[in-house]
Amino acid sequence: MSIYDIEVNSITGEKTSLAAYQGKVLLIVNVASKCGLTPQYEQLEALYKEKAAAGFEVLGFPCNQFLGQEPGTEAEIQQFCSLTYDVTFPMFAKVEVNGANRHPLYQTLIAAQPEAIKTAEGGLAKKLGEMELLPKNASDIMWNFEKFLVSADGQVLARFAPDVTVTSAEFTSVFDQAFK
């Protein structure tokens, strides 16, 4: 099954698929409104505005699996993102990214890229390990704001740990290649 065939629900509840994004470079991110990493919305929106005309989309998938850091309804999430970070990129309904109820999109993404590119110092992984919050399965999503880069032809090119920001060298070196 192609990534474009996977059914998702928009944040306003409409059933859809990723087919609308075929031919574009995608950055798929599991997001949360009450996380220490939430300010990444600002960088994600800036990158989206900068590269949208070149065929780029950021797709936000709220997830409440990490210490309940996305407790709101879809309407509350949408309002928070709009008012706090002026998010204009597409947002979707809440999904589970780990466990028995993992959304098929995340099953596909993880199967294609079971390991994330981490920061040189591996800061978040160390911190979560010390707090005994790292997932037991190494291929599971580590935390909010883990990112998957998908090429314009639907190939999952890379996966980035939550603390790899879209302005970091780890990200930009791979991201720039997706447009060549």
59: domain CATH number is 3.40.30.10
The verdict on residue 48 lying in a domain is yes
Q: How many folded domains does the chain comprise?
A: 1
| pLDDT tier, 127 (very low <50, low <70, confident <90, very high otherwise) | confident
The verdict on residue 28 lying in a domain is yes
Cβ contact 128:143 at 8 Å: yes
Find the domain containing 51 and state its range: 3-173
Give the span between the Cα atoms of 49 and 47, in whole angstroms. 5
pLDDT of residue 119: 81
pLDDT of residue 126: 82
* H helix count then E strand count, the chain: 5, 6
The verdict on residue 178 lying in a domain is no
The verdict on residue 90 lying in a domain is yes
Using one digit for the tens of pLDDT, what is the confidence trace for 81-117?
999 999 999 999 999 999 999 999 999 999 999 999 8
pLDDT of residue 20: 92
Position 138 pLDDT exceeds 90: no
The verdict on residue 127 lying in a domain is yes
The verdict on residue 47 lying in a domain is yes
Query: Would you call 63 a catalytic residue per the annotation?
Result: no
- Strands 56-62, 25-31: pairing is parallel
Pick the catalytic residue: 3, 18, 25, 35? 35
Q: Is residue 156 within a helix (H) or strand (E), and if so which, with residue range? A: strand 156-160
pTM: 0.96
The verdict on residue 180 lying in a domain is no
